[in-house]
Amino acid sequence: MEDYIQISKLNDFIFCPKSIYFHGVFESFSEKTYHDTPQTVGKIKHEIIEKGEYSSLKRYLQAIDVYSEKYGLCGKIDIFDVETGFLIERKYRVKEIYDGYRYQLYAQAFALEEMGHKVRGLYIHSLIDNKRHPIAMPDKNEKKKFAELVFQMRNFQVDIGFIQNEKKCAMCIYKPLCH
């Protein structure tokens, strides 16, 4: 497959398909232009993973690139413990487990498994309160929903329109630019 979708964009697409467009527009600008405090703090906290400083133990794969040929996805994982098979996605603050968080983890797990690793557990880790939230491994129905999400992303056309979620729009950092 020649056109990979970034795994991190799954969460963005579920939040709002337009946010991917606006993120792309601003990608070359300083993040100070469009990031609010939560995004800035999250990026700072994530640097530990990016630098491979979570742990020096070889059992932890940190910030490695992963690819799924089956779904045409690529991205990076936060932490994969090769001994336990636990895949951990770190978020600064987890108030609730959103579908986008789960699908991001599913994509990472599918990619790791295609790459020969056995994923036995999925977790979202909240840094602010140091809580780890277990995420169920995807069943047949969840895998079907996941494949449908990827299909929707590949075939999305902004000019056809979609139903906006006012609650999400109110929290969006791109709200001033969106009509």
pLDDT in tens, 166-177: 776 777 776 776
Give the Cα-Cα-Cα angle 11, 12, 18 (nearest 5 degrees): 150
**Mean pLDDT for the stretch of residues 65-79:** 96
- Say whether pLDDT at 137 is over 90: yes
Q: Which of 4-13, 83-92, 120-129, 150-159 has the lowest mean pLDDT?
A: 150-159
What confidence score (pLDDT) does residue 20 get? 77
Q: How far apart are CA 167 and CA 86, in angstroms?
A: 33
For 106-132, how does the pLDDT look when each residue is reduced to its tens digit (9 = 90+)? 999 999 999 999 999 999 999 889 999
What amino acid occupies position 11? N
pTM reported for the whole predicted model: 0.81
Return all residues near 113 (Cβ < 8 A) that are at least 6 apart. 119
Range ranked top by mean pLDDT from 26-35, 136-145, 156-165? 136-145
What CATH architecture applies to the domain 5-177? Alpha-Beta Complex (3.90)
